Structure 1
């Protein structure tokens, strides 16, 4: 039975940084795809809404633990040699896009119809109505649930260890294999996840209260 050293703690901190980095990549990639999902499902033609709806149902019905190996082992069969970080970022981005897309679609559709009709009466083009009338109001509604969903993104990065990516949870497993101190190690890992997720949860609740009051 070993003891926890400074090197172990630094390794955990390194895993924490990779968790943050992967979370940001997943949010940026998933947010970009999610925005297209929300727009396509809300304002696209019928065939677009059908395809986007099928995409959302397919991704939401597929476990992330399946998407990760598909990206890591499937892309090389297409001639694309991707490292574990890239594969994890791609899989998480696809997974996140389905959920953020649904969140943002609901927020876009919750904007009162009269707003769009008023903008149409002003002879604004479609992209102007979207950019200057609908999106500013939808963003206000979408901010609290989006920040809250970021907690799920952070926690889901722990599944990237399934394809060999060393983030915080995997770093804890590696250290435990050499020290055999699971209680101490995973208490530290849990504390690090808490330090990442709790501020996001508090921020999300504050935004929800603030925007709800302002909306009223």
Structure 2
């Protein structure tokens, strides 16, 4: 058994938590880009782009993130593409996040009253102009709370990357618990750190929902 003091355990876990935060930020930023591309394809009204985007969303929403991590990490090398645990974690989480954000934002776009789009058409505005000046500004107000709320799922989803060997908070907790034989203390700290990361985001989402009066 390795002798670790309580402060040593906490310090090592906080160091690993930095990677959890970095991975979450990259996954959310990359997922936002992928989600926007899929969103525009979904609402474009064009058959093929919408069909491809719908297939992407259904695929990543309909399969567990764990399976996606396995397929990327173990599947890509089978076709000659070597990936590290970090690369597999980033790619999987970006695609996973993008699929869910696209669906969240599609619902927000469709929640904008149809009369807004019809009025913009009456003013002879093109599709990009209608989206830029009429639809998206109104959809943004609706989208902010659920988007912030979904970020909590992204943070918690990073824990699954430990299964392919990426050392983030959950993986570090397992390693330290195995070394110290003190799982209660270690996993107690892991849970508290996750709570400290996720609870402010949950509260922010609720506050934004009240502030923006989304229900109205």
- Give the TM-score, by structure 2 length: 0.93
> 2:213 — aligned with what?
212
| 5+ residue gaps, structure 2 | none
Contact 1:147 1:204 in 2 (8 A): yes
Contact 1:144 1:207 in 2 (8 A): yes
> 1:200 — aligned with what?
201
Alignment partners' CA distance in 2, 1:75 and 1:10: 35
> 2:98 — aligned with what?
97
Contact 2:10 2:189 in 1 (8 A): no
Deviation at 1:209, TM superposition (A): 1.0
Deviation at 1:47, TM superposition (A): 2.7
Runs of 4+ in 1 over 3 A off after TM superposition: 5-8
Q: Tell me the matched-pair count.
A: 215
Alignment partners' CA distance in 2, 1:80 and 1:29: 21
> 1:128 — aligned with what?
129
> 1:51 — aligned with what?
52
Contact 1:4 1:179 in 2 (8 A): no
Q: Which moved more, 1:178-187 or 1:32-41?
A: 32-41
Contact 1:18 1:168 in 2 (8 A): yes
| 5+ residue gaps, structure 1 | none
Q: How does 1:2-41 map to 2 (within 5 A)?
A: 2-4=3-5, 6-41=7-42
Contact 2:20 2:169 in 1 (8 A): yes
Deviation at 1:7, TM superposition (A): 4.0
Alignment partners' CA distance in 2, 1:211 and 1:156: 28
Deviation at 1:99, TM superposition (A): 1.1
- Give the TM-score, by structure 1 length: 0.93
Deviation at 1:193, TM superposition (A): 0.4
**1:166 matches 2:179:** no
Alignment partners' CA distance in 1, 2:68 and 2:45: 27
Q: How does 1:118-197 map to 2 (within 5 A)?
A: 118-197=119-198
Deviation at 1:34, TM superposition (A): 1.1
Alignment partners' CA distance in 2, 1:41 and 1:146: 18
User: Root-mean-square deviation (CA), in Å?
Assistant: 1.6
